[in-house]
Chains A and B, each alone.
Chain A
Amino acid sequence: MFLIKCPYCGERDQSEFNCGGEAHIVRPKNPPDLTDDQWADYLFMRKNIKGIQFERWNHSNGCRRWFNVTRNTATDEILKIYNMGEQPPIVTGIAPKTPSGETSIGSGNISTSYTKK
């Protein structure tokens, strides 16, 4: 239940929104020229990564507008919200940060490289 800042309505609870999957997949303008594989690629192939993902979201229980979201799927941190048709932000140098820091043991709730205290 994270918060999403709808570009039209402001910050609202996630339960007001629907995720429409991966963003920036443009419907081909020339479907008859495409092979089955190319069409299947457009139709079915979607990324579902742990880390930075570009997604489409719809304020379905609000203004019903669609917009793009750059989200870290591991932490639900939202990096950017931008309009449909706009180019995705360039994300560099951010290793997928996770709450656990990806430790190999236990629940991952413990830090292994702690020196401060």
Chain B
Amino acid sequence: MNKKISFTFDGKKYSGFEGDTLASALIRNGVFLVGRSFKYHRPRGMISAGSEEPNAIIQLESGEITEPNVRATEIKIYEGLNATSQNNWPSLNFDLGSVNDLFSRFFPSGFYYKTFMWPPKYWEKYEYLIRQAAGLGRSPTKDDPHQYEHFHYHCDILVVGGGISGLYAAKLLAKANLKVLIIEQHPELGGQCLNTDSFKTHEVLIKELEEQNNKDNFKIIKNSTVFAYMHSNYLLACQKINNAKIRQIIWKIRATKVVLATGSIERFLTFDNNDRPGIMLANSARKYQNHCSAKDIKKIVIFTNNDTAYQTAIDFFYKQEVEVQAVIDVRKNSNGDLAKKAEKLGIKIFFNHAVIDTKGRKKINSVIISELDESLDKAIGRSKKLSCDLLCVSGGWTPTVHLFSQSKGILFYRESDATFIPDKSFQNEISIGACNGTFELDEILKETYSKISGLLTEFGKKIDVKSRINSEKIFYDKLKHLWIVPSNKHFGRTKMFVDFQNDVTAKDIKLALREGYRSIEHIKRYTTTGMATDQGKIGNINALGIISDLSGVPIHKLGTTTFRLPYTPVTFGAMAGRHIKEFFDVERTTPMHQWHVDCGAKFEDVGQWKRAWYYPIENEGILQAVNREVKATREGIGILDASTLGKIDVKGRDASEFLNRVYTNAWSKLDIGKCRYGLMLGDDGMVIDDGVTSRLGENHYVMTTTTGNAASVMSKLEDWLQTEWPELKVYLTSVTEQFATISINGPYAPKLMNKLCPNHDFSKDNFPHMSFQNIGIDDVHCRVMRISFTGEMCYEINVPSSYGKALWEKCFDLGNEYNITPYGTEAMHVLRAEKGFIIVGQETDGSVTPIDLDMSWIVSKKKYDFIGKRALYRSDTIREDRKQLVGILTKDPNEILEEGSQLVEKITPVPMEMVGHVTSSYYSPNLGRSIALALVKEGIKKKGLKIYAPMPNKAIEVEITNPVFIDPSNERLSA
């Protein structure tokens, strides 16, 4: 006997055995009521034993590790497992929501659309209530402590499904020296064979394959569901390892060939009250019965339209404690081997009969059966009541073609057994066994042998003829499909469930048709059939059949709804894998990062970079800190970590010509050792980047880009070089991370430079503004540029990254006497705004030309062409009333405008006519007042005009000014 395992369901302790699923363990304990239905809160029990389960979905565990909507049929029990039922209040046994069932006549399909239409303003209230009622389980509210992993796997052949066809295929492939992966969704290999007493071959196969596992490129993973089949044979599987530190693994598999052996799912029949606990799919009931003797099951009835359910009858017949009351078969007769055998055993069979109703509130206790008329449309004669505590139902079998359909294969509708089966492949795969519509065991073996033989030929291998196996042939008589089982009642009074999880009944579908819905996709969305977490694995085909019956359109003309991934729900944890928290995205830090951290800097994300935002001292807030940093920079020395700026090394014979083409200004005449500011446009004339480029040699430049655009500028430049100008000999290298950049600003900057490098002449004659020099600082080769983004004298030192922190610290040691102050990005913004310098992405938004920015001085008139030139005189870009960059000063100097504020010339009732918007707004401590930059229609012409920034409670009066607020003549640069 297997190990005993105890678990809890709804607070009550039970025990099961190792190898049990939660569903089988509950059945072992006689628990059939496991949940309440979605809309009507009807009592529900498990109806299947696999991934198709619509009812037995539970909340697994509690607290931070809880997972909602877990199928009890798929979860293996472990010691201490704790599960609770869903969608009931106050308890599963007594659920107040079940009043909905009494009023079910008032909840037809489209109920919400029809009822909550009026008055429209009440929608917000309705929505809250509807949302409260919606959903089944509860999502966790805390961080999940488990780990989730993603594995990548490449193989020659992926076999999906470890049932008999998959096992046999694997055996035939195992010795071929190919890399083979087999994935089985259940904890054990074997599939349907696990229920079969007569056929033992699978046991041999399983033993052989388990021995081979993880040897010779051969691998088996169990407890894993392939849930997606994507392009180029890329498949995803989710492996569940519950109760372990690593809880789930997503396997990302790329296979040369895919063998789909996904089996089939048994169908339900649509009869009145077909949803009571204790009504199960026949084959699942048999599986449970063979695996665990259910408590309190004494009498069973079987209701079928095909031969396979007779196996259930036969299996139960041999159980001494169970009495098989009857098999109710809608067919006139059956010559199938199993039916004959059942008859011989003395099992009572009612041909041409149907179950037309069932009784029992929380567990079935009896069924009402009746004879059917010739055309199976009506129940005739006197109905009979049969008591039972288990009703096994079989409506035939549906091949599991989900993955095949996801792969974009085309299905074919086979009328004889009402199945959709694979027709034409789109990707490199084959389907074998039940998922290919081959149900009989011997035929499955034959099909698998011949298809795998063909597959091996494709790989240049030969099949081993000795490994051929056969089975005894069983004859199955034809199935009779009966989409709606007749009832004595008026159709409108029946509850024949088609989709159990979303509570969709046959009459809901009829209503949708009556209301004019014709397309299967529309009917699906209107009734929500097939839209629950089980995606209608059991019921979709019945819904199709019903629509076909009622509308008279044959099923193959209706088509199917789209089979979407995932096949079974996947948790967000598994999808995210390790990509959470600090691993969610790449974090880039500068060589001086630790220094900023140690100084208590606050950080700002700029693209992937962590940039120091401001450096508060003690209890300073952002405004105080920024004011102090800004003042210190204008009066002493401010030092900025500018390492994040993009740096592109441009080398080659045609480097100057290249820069001429991509920047708006001219580059050929720039002397070696000089720097120049450049504006880069798209070919639509809009500003995309700016920065300073220095000429290091005849054919050698270093270009600086904005922090956020470094990668996209590099890509765009490569694009032009490779695709448009292959004749240019230019090589681009990103050197952003090779250099740390220290920007030393302020009136005392040259003094600090002198201390850093005593032997060098930093006088303005020797080292003027906009020039570049190679300087050794402590024998480390540095590239120093005299450029300025603050309007102060400034030296930008580019030092190899590994020396960045040392040099940064040295600056502080030497600069102490000048009150050297680190400043962050916020102070940097204030400093540049005081000077009216733009920031690409703040003053520009992809719709701003250099002319709009009043920067026509940088746009060459002489060059025949450059990127963006032609677009600068398109009819749209030369419009007079374009928004232009201006400065904005509020009437009240202490009023700081909100960035993004709209500007108007006249205050009128809304809607007011907007003339522009504020792009940057700060408090300038150097001016002792607020300043702002804005884009205003014809703003350049309107300097001096008073306009308004309307706010919810007031209108702020402002004046349009020049955007340069400090030192317009640039005297400080050369003081």
Chain A residues packing against B (C-beta within 8 Å): 1-3, 13-14, 20, 26-27, 31-32, 34, 36, 39-40, 42-43, 56, 58, 60, 64-66, 75-76, 84-85, 99-101, 103, 105-112, 114, 116-117
18 more CB-based (< 8 A) A-B contacts, given A103-B559, A111-B410 = A3-B231, A3-B254, A13-B234, A14-B231, A32-B864, A36-B875, A40-B874, A43-B871, A64-B715, A75-B408, A84-B723, A99-B408, A106-B559, A106-B561, A108-B559, A109-B560, A110-B556, A114-B412
Q: How far is the CB of B664 from chain A (nearest CB, A)?
A: 14
> In the complex, which of the residues B230, B412, B684 contacts A117, with contact meaning CB atoms closer than 8 Å?
B412
- Whether A106 pairs with B726 at a CB distance below 8 angstroms is no
- Whether B562 pairs with A109 at a CB distance below 8 angstroms is yes
Q: Render B415-435 as a binary contact track against A, CB cut-off 8 A, 1 for contact.
A: 000001101101000000000
Task: Give the CA-CA distance A45 to B247 in the complex, in Å.
Answer: 50
Residues B377-417 near A (CB distance < 8 A): 405, 408-414
- Whether B563 pairs with A109 at a CB distance below 8 angstroms is yes
Q: Point out the residues of chain A lying under 8 angstroms from B684, CB to CB.
A: 43
Task: Give the CA-CA distance A26 to B234 in the complex, in Å.
Answer: 36
- Whether A111 pairs with B870 at a CB distance below 8 angstroms is no
Q: Render B846-870 as a binary contact track against A, CB cut-off 8 A, 1 for contact.
A: 0000000000000000001100011
> Can you name 17 A-B residue pairings with CB atoms under 8 Å?
A1-B234, A2-B231, A31-B865, A32-B870, A36-B874, A66-B718, A99-B410, A103-B559, A105-B557, A106-B560, A106-B561, A107-B559, A107-B563, A109-B409, A110-B412, A110-B559, A110-B560
Task: Give the CA-CA distance A66 to B720 in the complex, in Å.
Answer: 10
- Whether B231 pairs with A106 at a CB distance below 8 angstroms is no
Q: Point out the residues of chain B lying under 8 angstroms from A40, CB to CB.
A: 874
Q: How far is the CB of B469 from chain A (nearest CB, A)?
A: 26
Task: Give the CA-CA distance A100 to B561 in the complex, in Å.
Answer: 13
- Whether B864 pairs with A109 at a CB distance below 8 angstroms is no
- Whether B408 pairs with A100 at a CB distance below 8 angstroms is yes
Closest residue of A by beta carbon distance from B413: A110
Task: Give the CA-CA distance A112 to B410 in the complex, in Å.
Answer: 10
- Whether A1 pairs with B405 at a CB distance below 8 angstroms is no
Q: How far is the CB of B322 from chain A (nearest CB, A)?
A: 40
B532 at interface, CB cutoff 8 A: no
Q: Point out the residues of chain A lying under 8 angstroms from B426, CB to CB.
A: 75, 99
> In the complex, which of the residues B420, B521, B556, B870 contacts A34, with contact meaning CB atoms closer than 8 Å?
B870
Band of interface residues on B = 35 or more
Residues B595-624 near A (CB distance < 8 A): none
CB-based A-B contact count at 8 angstroms: 113
Q: Point out the residues of chain A lying under 8 angstroms from B562, CB to CB.
A: 107, 109
> In the complex, which of the residues B408, B519, B559, B723 contacts A66, with contact meaning CB atoms closer than 8 Å?
B723
Q: Which 9 A-B pairs have the closest CB atoms?
A: A106-B559, A99-B408, A31-B870, A107-B562, A2-B231, A105-B559, A3-B232, A2-B232, A66-B722
Q: How far is the CB of A87 from chain B (nearest CB, A)?
A: 15
B144 at interface, CB cutoff 8 A: no
B724 at interface, CB cutoff 8 A: yes
Task: Give the CA-CA distance A36 to B872 in the complex, in Å.
Answer: 11
Task: Give the CA-CA distance A3 to B231 in the complex, in Å.
Answer: 8
- Whether B871 pairs with A39 at a CB distance below 8 angstroms is yes
Residues B504-527 near A (CB distance < 8 A): 519-521
B719 at interface, CB cutoff 8 A: yes
Closest residue of A by beta carbon distance from B867: A27
B683 at interface, CB cutoff 8 A: yes
Task: Give the CA-CA distance A106 to B560 in the complex, in Å.
Answer: 6
- Whether B410 pairs with A101 at a CB distance below 8 angstroms is yes
Q: Point out the residues of chain B lying under 8 angstroms from A116, CB to CB.
A: 423
> In the complex, which of the residues A13, A20, A26, A105 contacts B558, with contact meaning CB atoms closer than 8 Å?
A105
- Whether A1 pairs with B232 at a CB distance below 8 angstroms is yes
Q: Point out the residues of chain B lying under 8 angstroms from A3, CB to CB.
A: 231-232, 254
Q: Point out the residues of chain B lying under 8 angstroms from A109, CB to CB.
A: 405, 408-411, 559-560, 562-563
Q: How far is the CB of A41 from chain B (nearest CB, A)?
A: 12
Closest residue of A by beta carbon distance from B407: A99
Q: Render B555-571 as a binary contact track against A, CB cut-off 8 A, 1 for contact.
A: 01111111100000000
Q: Render B709-753 as a binary contact track against A, CB cut-off 8 A, 1 for contact.
A: 000000100110011101000000000000000000000000000
Q: How far is the CB of A82 from chain B (nearest CB, A)?
A: 13
| Most chain A CB within a 10 A radius of its CB, from B254, B414, B562, B722 | B722
Known: A32-B865, A34-B870, A111-B410. A106 touches B521 (CB 8 A): yes
Q: Point out the residues of chain B lying under 8 angstroms from A60, CB to CB.
A: 715
Task: Give the CA-CA distance A63 to B869 in the complex, in Å.
Answer: 31
Q: Point out the residues of chain A lying under 8 angstroms from B424, CB to CB.
A: 111
Q: How far is the CB of B541 from chain A (nearest CB, A)?
A: 13
Q: Point out the residues of chain A lying under 8 angstroms from B414, CB to CB.
A: 117
